[in-house]
Structure 1
Amino acid sequence: MLFFFRPFISVLKIYQFPGVVHLTHEGHGYLFSWEDPRTSELELSWMEAREFCQTHCMDLVGLETQEENILVKERLAKGNQSYAWTGGRKCNFEGCDRPDLKPVSVYGWFWVGSHKKLPPTTNRLDADWSNTGGLGVPQPDDREHRGGGPSEDCLAILNNLHSDGIHWHDIACNHRKPFICEDSDIVPHDARSEVPQLPVDMLFVWAT
């Protein structure tokens, strides 16, 4: 998978401006790509967005508390953004064959920046999946894959695109979107890791 994003590293050098933080919450800093004039029009694939965040010793945002989720959604609405990438990822690669991750569509979602699992997608109270989407069914629905396209393995926040308010949707990772970075305690030691190389045994259950 290196061939997918390595050529982009040289392009990332144009956008290196460490220290930029648009919001601080509970000791963590957040960077919203659309809030800086240098990246206000920049839209990247999920992997490219993660690489961007990592060059700033950050990672794609993990919405691990209700308060954090609300803050980020308010920022998306204030910026009049239609969508944005988060650090949500489906664990469907090598090493994800643990019994507690099955079925992956329900138990296999996690935040890449912290390696924490999301609640099961059947838990509609502790997560923020939309109740509808392109197929008119609750998220995640893997819509593109059902239609013969790529699997929808990455998590984005969509702003009322399906008349559903601002909520989480599973999206194919090759789509290009604005993105949100968050300080990560893991990135400085793992700044060049690809998602399939994450230590899956570090994933643990949602902390409420």
Structure 2
Amino acid sequence: MNSYKAFVIFAFCCVAVQLTWVEAKHFCLKLGLRLLSIETAEENTALLEYIGENYPNYRFWTSGSNLYHPTGKFYWDSTGEMLGFTNWFINQPDNQGGSEYCLEMPSTANHMWNDIECTFSMDFICEAYACP
């Protein structure tokens, strides 16, 4: 009888090119990747360790957004799934000014998430699609 073991492997790349959220999404797609979705605490921890060591004082786009969801709830644009695991900063998301529809992950402020205007330009993280 064959037995298989599943290993969780996170394949992502930080792109130090500042683009808007929509531009970053298309940039990742052109590479055959997708804008980052953080679906577990383990994935979040792995990312935080990596960016904390290699990208201090950066801000990164993720695929988190409520742009296309009239309910105002955030979804991972790359997967279509509503956020399960979250790591929001205190009092976030707050949709300050009525125009903060995208999720950023800063490498500062304890790496906690923030909602922000999608038209800002910042670095971003692409990830590989899951294995079939």
**Large movers: runs of 4+ above 3 Å:** none
Give the structure with the higher percent helix. Answer: 1
Q: Give the one of 108, 117, 120 matched to 2:82.
A: 117
Aligned length: 123
Q: How does 1:1-208 map to 2 (within 5 A)?
A: 26-34=8-16, 42-78=17-53, 79-90=55-66, 92-93=67-68, 96=69, 102=71, 104=72, 108-119=73-84, 126-131=85-90, 138-145=91-98, 151-160=99-108, 164-184=109-129
Separation of aligned partners in 2, 1:62 and 1:69: 10
Contact 1:144–1:172 (CA<8 Å) still a contact in 2?
no
Give the structure with higher Rg (CA): 1
- Relative contact order, higher structure (CA 8 A, sep 6+): 2
TM-score (ref. length: structure 2): 0.83
Q: Does the residue aligned with 1:54 lie in a helix, a strand or coil?
A: helix
Displacement of 1:28 in angstroms is 4.5
C-alpha deviations, 1:81-135, integer Å up to 9, x for none? 3211111011x53xx45xxxx4x2xxx211111111113xxxxxx410001xxxx
Separation of aligned partners in 2, 1:64 and 1:77: 19
Give the structure with the higher percent strand. Answer: 2
Where in structure 1 are there 5+ consecutive unaligned residues? 1-24, 35-41, 120-125, 132-137, 146-150, 186-208
Displacement of 1:31 in angstroms is 1.2
Structure 1 28/71 Cα, relative in aligned 2: closer, same or farther at 3 Å?
Answer: closer
